Structure 1
């Protein structure tokens, strides 16, 4: 029996999970149109590789990753690209993102698939395979999975996260119940890649059927994996807190799980890894929970790019539904519209109404009750962070470990003053990131200016050096042209005499060159041209004679 550990805080909100687990996962029908965002992961948006009017096959690469923190995007089915433009997506800012609109043809015609034997691949080759197949974390963060296989320190423990602690969400629960063997197979692939010593599968005790299914799959595989049932407590599904519960280790502030020899993957991600390696299928579909104010809550395996409105329609939203949440009620976000597309990080959509989620009353002043600090799983002081964020004292907020906040919403859930605390923390984080980005941009601009000035100065020095070298070479050539006897006769000649000798030598060379130069283009002259040339030569000779006579007259009289 493995010893379990506790973490500070936590709470027990109503689960509301039984509604969507009464029926098995069903495959959603292929819609007539899919809207596929090019940013479905942490990092840079993918670069589109297709054009409007182009026909694509199911699984075909349509978006190439840009940079390390990016992932590939594939066509979820066969069809024709009808648009590449900005469209509304599920994002807190409600700003549009670049999307590829695919008009489906219903043929479900697959492109070429590339299954691999993971045992024959190196770690780098497996990373490249997962990157090429667009595998990202399906627990909500959408971090590229290939990046999580890059580790400088040895990984001792691989943890599969099946806790799924947030209310309403049951996609991981149903996936473990129905596809446990595939998850175990994916876990073996990840264990091989990380060379981990042990594999722990953490599941909350409110998912007894899932835990039993995973235990049976582990027994059938003969692998030494351990299924660990943990107490139900929100937010035990957070990677850092699940690591704490299962191992007793605590991830230090600002560090990653691999820094303490642990790596954590969501069970949905693990299933996608299996499909990518054994079946050669990229991440083009996922299981998503549709629940809340609907007549038939259940889980659907839906293609990426399916509009949420179509999924909710399958479960028959009730008439008083007035908004939709992506994710759970604690950490989810309100969708800007019902027609935004499903993305890789979409684990749940909740149809909401005022009856189901009553509007919160206006926020009141903080009364320093400390309830938020009591439930904070990161052991922070939420009320102090709130004051720092409210007063724009972001430096102080960072000193009080603002970025250790996992935005679980536990503090806001228990706040008697109904203060939207998480909103303030998100605001403060965004401002800090924006200012850091501005500082980096300013530092880069300053470095570019300094390098520019250094380059200009270096070019000036190089130019001056070239001119000096040219002058030295010219002086050397001129010195070499001075007749050796003259230099030998007067070795102690002054600089002026040497210069005069150089001038005289240059004049003599010019005269010699003129004497041997023959006039050109005079072979076939007409009599008129010859007469004109003769007249010019006569005038020139007369001018020379006049100049000579004038010089003779200027000479001083000779003494007798």
Structure 2
């Protein structure tokens, strides 16, 4: 297989993707030779006509200048000078409209030609070999040559490439419609173009030089081949006519099959491209010493009477070119700088010709119609098919409208060459290229702002470091000066010894005494004699003793607090044990209450027997609870006695609290009957309707009344006896006071719990008994007997409890005896007794409800 060089030498060509074939319209201007225009009345020279920074001004207002004289000098990288296109006077240096779609003002030099067209001194080069590489680069730099194909890239930067160049490509394609400037330049100045090629060959040393020209320019192809006959390294190739084959990346692909990477430049793949107009300017600068002050411009369009190419001085206003070529404007006339594909409409014709201007197009309304209103994208993909860079124009337009700059860069916006092929084929007439240009400008502005911000941050950090360094140096100087000011201890000692010797000499002391004192001073200096510090030692011992006493007091206070916490924990444990035992008893009591309801299906005598057994079990349970009450709390007094022996004051406080609790429980028990007057009337009304119900209700009521009354009497009597006894014991012995306080607390809590249980344990029975009695009179009789037995048993238990309380405590108040009028339960009841029983039952229920509500309100949980 042939190598790439062999294929190129054989004339092999490749294709690039996309592209369009718009009407050429080149015959309007390529039928006449290049014309010379008269001098304009005013020349406007913008300082910036290329990619890069402005030059530094060398002239002032009112200065006289000669043709070819430098008006600025390079001041930074990628900076090019501008030169006077003719001799004349500098009228002003002021901002003027720029050659840009926005026509934003740029600093410009305004000149008035004097008509003499006098040249300054020129320095042509006869032999290239007599100059070094750097000298040739300086000549190109000072000549102000920039890329004249439209980009405006400084030529001296390309000529001084630090990368090896394998192929030098000369761009003579000129693919855009209407433009014929390069075509006529190659036809008439092929020899000078080849001289410029040889200068670049001398600087870059490429392996091959390829001149690419579209096959629709046969005269230019012939002229270039004839001019290159003496140089075998130059190859002239005719390529197919297709737009935009004149693009740098597309021409490289057609002639070498190489592809420039995304975001890269041709030099990255060893290729460099130069326009034929740029190479002509290189030849003029080297062999004639002329700077870039004029160029060939195509003036064409249907409104131009004499369309042709002209030599236009840099800085000539567009109006002067149009007037010289017979411009006849039409309504809504447009003037385009550049071709119809990549050019832009000028806002005014007072804009000057710059180094990158290659065409002035003045079409009529039929020749280049006004674009219509932008319509919605129909997603036809014609733009993607026509893109020579294989981009996605539709998505790029969406991102540009949304100002999503990250996505634009991700989709390679800067690979777009702005050829306009996508806009040309768009059926919705969307100006895609305009969106891309605006987005590119915004991204560049954003990056410049970021660069400025980073530089400002660097300056701030450098300033901060400098200030910190200066401050550190000042501190170090201060330390050094302080160290010099402070004399060493050895020097101080020497000075003190000298003063002491002088004093000893001046005194009236004897020689022996002086010797003794000197010996003492010497021993003191050596450290052999210790100073008398007895007073200091005594003070230190006193402070140590005070600290020891303070520490002991603090430790004793901590021990006391720990003991109090231990006592509280012991009491809380005893209370918790009592609560647990009481909960177990309540669970045991709940079981027999529910059993009578399960035997309704049995015969009536059996039900009576079962009910009697239940009643006996309940009575026995009540007796056991009365016996267990002291035993449950027996552990607490012992524990409390053990805890309170260590601190009498704590015991006294606990006793006072216990007395207050007992007094409060007694008051609650006394206040209970005050709210129980509302229910007897209703109960009496219900009992009058049925004698059997009245009998059963009377029995239940008597039992409840006796139990509630005795509990109410028992609580005040028990709690009343305890405070007196506790007070007497506390006066005699603090330990007994502590024990009494613990017992009182346990009894108060026990009484409250019993008050809660009383209504809950007995609430279910009357309803069940009443229901049973309604269904059967015999059940009512059995229930009455059970109730009488319960009442009798409860009465006996209460009497026994009262006797035990009388024997164990000295009562401060005589307890009220229980009501024994109804002890004979088997005697028949009179109507008066039934009524009293009903009243007592209602009172008992009200008391139970009241106690339950009060207990729930006082319960801290």
Q: How many angstroms apart in 1 are the aligned matches of 2:263 and 2:293?
A: 33
Matches within 5 A, 1:151-550: 151-219=161-229, 221-292=230-301, 293-320=303-330, 322-476=333-487, 486=497
Counterpart of 1:128 in 2: which secondary structure? helix
Task: After superposition, give the CA deviation of every residue in 1:152-186 in whole Å (9 maximum; x if it has no partner).
Answer: 22101111100001111110000000000000011
Query: In structure 2, the residue corresponding to 1:387 is in which secondary structure?
Result: helix
Deviation at 1:311, TM superposition (A): 0.7
In the aligned structure 1, how far is the partner of 2:193 from the partner of 2:163?
A: 25
Deviations for 1:125-165, whole angstroms, at most 9, x for unmatched residues?
21111110101110011111001123222101111100001
Which residue number corresponds to residue 146 of structure 1? 156
**In 2, Cα distance between the equivalents of 1:106 and 1:224?**
44
Runs of 4+ more than 4 Å apart: 476-485, 487-494
Question: Which among 63, 67, 82 is matched to residue 54 of structure 1?
Answer: 63
User: Is 1:85 matched with 2:108?
Assistant: no
Q: Say whether the 8 Å CA contact 2:207–2:233 is kept in structure 1.
A: no
| CA shift for structure 1 position 334 | 1.2
CA-CA distance at 1:492 after TM superposition: 7.3
Provide Cα deviations, 1:283-342, integer angstroms capped at 9, x if missing partner: 000010000121110000111111111111111112316221111011111112112111
Distance 1:110 1:163 in 2: 34
Are residues 1:41 and 2:50 paired? yes
- 2:712 corresponds to which residue? none
**Superposition deviation, residue 445 in structure 1:** 2.1
1:63 deviates by 1.3
Task: Tell me, yes or no, if the aligned pair for 1:32 and 1:105 is still in contact at 8 Å.
Answer: no
Task: Give the secondary structure class of the aligned counterpart of 2:311.
Answer: strand
Report SS of the residue matched to 1:86. Answer: strand
Q: Distance in 1 between matches of 2:71 and 2:218?
A: 40
- Note if 1:26 corresponds to 2:35: yes
8 Å Cα contact 2:160/2:203 also seen in 1: no
| Bigger helix fraction | 2
What is the CA-CA distance between 1:463 and the residue it aligns to? 1.0
The C-alpha deviation readout for 1:469-520, integer Å capped at 9, x for no partner, is: 11112225997687568279769769xxxxxxxxxxxxxxxxxxxxxxxxxx
Please show how residues 88-127 of structure 1 align to structure 2 within 5 Å.
88-116=97-125, 117-127=127-137
Q: Is the 8 A contact 1:326 1:346 kept in 2?
A: yes
Name the structure 2 match of 1:509: none
What whole-Å deviation, never above 9, does each CA across 1:380-416 have from its counterpart, x for those lacking one? Answer: 0111111111112111111111111111100000001
Q: Distance in 2 between matches of 1:241 and 1:23?
A: 30
Deviation at 1:344, TM superposition (A): 0.7
Aligned to 1:75: 84
SS at match of 2:486: helix
Find the residue that maps to 1:456 and give its secondary structure: helix
Higher alpha-carbon Rg: 2
Deviations 1:46-94 (A, max 9, x none): 2221011111111000011231112110011111111111111211221
CA distance in 2, matches of 1:183, 1:191: 12
CA distance in 1, matches of 2:324, 2:109: 24
Indicate whether 1:11 and 2:24 are aligned. Answer: no
Q: How far apart, in 2, do the equivalents of 1:43 and 1:490 lie?
A: 86
Q: CA distance change for structure 1 residues 478 and 20 in 2, over 3 Å: closer, same or farther?
A: farther
Question: What is the alpha-carbon distance in structure 1 between the residues aligned to residue 313 and residue 491 of structure 2?
Answer: 86
Matched residue, 2:533: none
1:439, distance to aligned residue in structure 2 (A): 1.8
Helix, strand or coil at the partner of 2:310 = strand
Matched residue SS, 1:21: coil
Aligned-partner Cα distance in 2 for 1:323–1:437: 34
User: Would the alpha carbon gap of residues 479 and 164 (structure 1) be closer, same or farther in structure 2, given more than 3 Å must change?
Assistant: farther
CA change 1:476–1:25 in 2 (3 A) is farther
Q: Could you give the per-residue CA deviations for residues 404-442 of structure 1, whole angstroms, max 9, x where no partner exists?
A: 111110000000110010111112212211221222222
- In the alignment, the residues of structure 1 paired with residue 270 and residue 182 of structure 2 have an alpha-carbon distance, to the nearest angstrom, of 25
State the alpha-carbon separation in 2 of the partners of residues 367 and 307 from structure 1.
42
Aligned residues: 493
Measured after TM superposition, the shift of residue 360 of structure 1 is 1.3
Q: Deviations over 1:1-34 (max 9, x none)?
A: 3110111100111111111011000111112221
* Cα distance in 2 between the residues matched to 1:120 and 1:262: 27
- Check conservation: 1:90, 1:336, Cα contact below 8 A: no
- Aligned to 1:74, the other structure's residue is in SS state coil
- CA root-mean-square deviation: 1.9
Q: Say whether the 8 Å CA contact 2:173–2:214 is kept in structure 1.
A: yes
**Structure 1's 477 and 388: CA in aligned 2 closer, same or farther, altered over 3 A?**
same
Taking the aligned partners of 2:522 and 2:396, their CA distance within structure 1 comes to: 93
Q: Given the superposition, is the C-alpha separation of residues 8 and 491 from structure 1 closer, same or farther in structure 2, using an over 3 Å criterion?
A: farther
- Mapped to 2, the partners of 1:492 and 1:361 lie a distance apart of 112
Change (3 A) 1:478 1:356: farther
Q: Please name the residue that 2:73 is paired with.
A: 64
C-alpha distance in 2 between matches for 1:481 and 1:314: 103
Q: Which deviates the most, 313-322 or 229-238? A: 313-322
CA distance 1:381–1:481, change in 2 (3 Å): same
Secondary structure of the residue aligned to 1:228 is: strand
**Secondary structure of the residue that 1:290 maps to in structure 2?**
strand
Mapped partners of 2:381, 2:51: distance in 1: 34
1:377 to partner: Cα distance: 0.3
Query: Which among 116, 120, 133 is matched to residue 143 of structure 2?
Result: 133
Task: Give secondary structure in 1 for the equivalent of 2:28.
Answer: helix
How far the C-alpha of 1:352 sits from its partner, in A, is 3.0
CA separation of 1:256/1:486 partners in 2, compared to 1, >3 Å: closer, same or farther?
Answer: same
Deviation at 1:119, TM superposition (A): 2.2
Equivalent residues of 1:115, 1:277 under 8 A apart: yes
